[in-house]
Amino acid sequence: MFDINKILRTNIKNLTPYSSARDEFQGEASVFLDANENAFGSPLVQAYNRYPDPMQYQVKMRLSQIKGVPARNIFLGNGSDEAIDILFRSFCNPGVDNVIIVPPTYGMYEVSANINDVQIKRVLLTQDYQLNLEGIAEAIDENTKLIFICSPNNPTGNSINRDDIETLLANFSGIVVVDEAYINYSRQKTFIQELTEYANLVVLQTLSKAWGLAGLRVGMAFASEEIIEVMNKVKPPYNINEASQTLALQALDNIDQVNVWIKETLQQRDKLVLSLKHMDFVQDIYPSDANFILVKTTNAKSIYEYLVQHGIIVRDRSKVELCEGCLRITIGTPQENEELINTLQQFK
Ligand SMILES: *Cc1c(COP(=O)(O)O)cnc(C)c1O
């Protein structure tokens, strides 16, 4: 049912991608005079005078081992935000096509749609922050190219029912993007093992959250070989810089440290929930599968401002539909969480 040629933009189908010096010669050589680099070096301790590997082969090989997905099914972006943008540019004709988002959800889908002049159809989540499958089915038309599902969802924190996502994957002839930025914290299984099952699945993950590398800007998309090929064609040739590739590769060997932090974050999350529960301005704390919690309060704006005055910044989501009165609080270190609790206990 899914046919990539039916949803690919014609200009992208016909695109001859930029061919870099590193694409045209990949063998062994000792003298590289093909890329107009400065052959003398860099004014740094480390040498960065050579262009990085456009296909990030080593990072992908390491990710392939960790994730159990072949390297040819992995795309790397300058953050997963770049992968989102490339999906729009590959599949959505500006001014013609549309995408479906399911608010309240991650804000970049909408911004990226607006930048690319792609119409957005909003189908609100239900009261318990799950998919409204009927509403989505009604919203789909012949120009609907992408559906974005964030699970665990930002800012609500919950995972989306797996069966519902599978229903979409099985019935939608466009691409279902499952954004798993917070999957390392989740009790739910990742969708990356389902790539062979669904040709229209794109899973997004990132090194920015649990992996602690937000500053490096490395995001991943996992999809069929044919979708990955399109994304590689559209991406800027050297989209992951040399420093990010080298450091990501080093970091990927420290998986044990990351797992310790994940465990500790989850313990801290439970602890924070227990302390918040007893505060009289807290009306509800939504179940979280992520490293943050969504907290419904009686007076979000003044609590937010009070915390700012005490040097503590949380995210005010109280103006977001279905999140009225809510603050989104990221789980910090034990000391930071304690400071938050102590400060909130003195809020009047
Ligand atoms: C933080 C976040 C991202 C951003 O990832 P980058 O790889 O840093 O661009 C993507 N999706 C969701 C849902 C996020 O919360």
Model confidence over 4-53: pLDDT tens digits? Answer: 999 999 999 999 999 888 888 888 999 999 999 999 999 999 999 999 99
Q: What are the backbone dihedrals phi and psi of residue 312, each rounded to the nearest 5 degrees, phi first?
A: -115, 125
pLDDT at 23: 83
Secondary structure letter of residue 223 according to DSSP:
-
CATH number of the structural domain spanning residue 315: 3.90.1150.10
247 with 260, same domain: the answer is no
Distance 342 CA to ligand 1 centre (A): 30
Sign of CA dihedral 319, 176, 8, 22: positive
Q: 203 with 324, same domain?
A: no
Q: What is the pLDDT of residues 203-217, one digit of tens each?
A: 999 999 999 999 999
Backbone angles phi, psi at 329, to 5 degrees: -115, 120
Residues 308 and 195 placed together within one structural domain of the fold:
no
- To test ligand 1's pocket by mutation, which of 75, 81, 148 has the most ligand atoms within 8 angstroms of CB? 81
C-alpha span between 259 and 264 (Å, rounded): 9
User: Do 201 and 245 lie in a common domain?
Assistant: yes
Domain end among 218, 251, 284: 251
Measured over the CA atoms of residue 106, residue 109, residue 112 and residue 114, the dihedral's sign is: negative
Is the domain of 227 the same as that of 310? no
Task: Mark which of 225, 251, 277 sits at the end of a domain.
Answer: 251
Q: Are residues 86 and 19 in the same domain?
A: yes
Same domain, residue pair 182 and 311: no
Q: 209: CA distance to ligand 1 center in Å?
A: 8
Neighbours of 62 (CB within 10 A): 18
* Global pTM exceeds 0.85: yes
Question: Exposed/middle/buried for 281, CB within 10 Å: 0-12, 13-18, 19+?
Answer: middle
Kindly list the protein residues whose Cβ atom lies closer than 6 A to any atom of ligand 1. Answer: 79-81, 106, 150, 154, 179, 181, 206, 208-209, 214, 219
CA nearest ligand 1 atom 6, residue: 79
- Please give the helix or strand (H or E) that residue 345 lies within, else none: helix 334-345
Written as one letter, the residue type at 312 is: I
Measured in angstroms, how far is the CA atom of residue 95 from the centroid of ligand 1?
26
Is the same domain home to 190 and 283? no
Same domain, 274 and 238: no
Residues 17 and 90 in one domain: yes
Å from CA of 104 to ligand 1 middle? 15
Does one domain contain both 56 and 185?
yes
Instruction: Provide the phi-psi class of 56: left if phi over 0, else alpha when psi is between -120 and 50, else beta.
Output: left
Please state, in angstroms and as integers, the Cα–Cα distance from residue 210 to each residue in 81, 126, 219, following that order: 16, 28, 12
Give me the sheet containing 315-316, strands edge to edge. 282-285, 292-297, 326-330, 315-316
Same domain for 266 and 225?
no
* Final residue in a domain of this structure, among 251, 273, 294: 251
Range of the domain at 284: 256-345
pLDDT 10s digit of each residue in the chain, 348 long? 899 999 999 999 999 999 888 888 888 999 999 999 999 999 999 999 999 999 999 999 999 999 999 999 999 999 999 999 999 999 999 999 999 999 999 999 999 999 999 999 999 999 999 999 999 999 999 999 999 999 999 999 999 999 999 999 999 999 999 999 999 999 999 999 999 999 999 999 999 999 999 999 999 999 999 999 999 999 999 999 999 999 999 999 999 999 999 999 999 999 999 999 999 999 999 999 999 999 999 999 999 999 999 999 999 999 999 999 999 999 999 999 999 999 999 998
**Count of domains in the chain?**
2
CATH number of the domain residue 244 falls in: 3.40.640.10
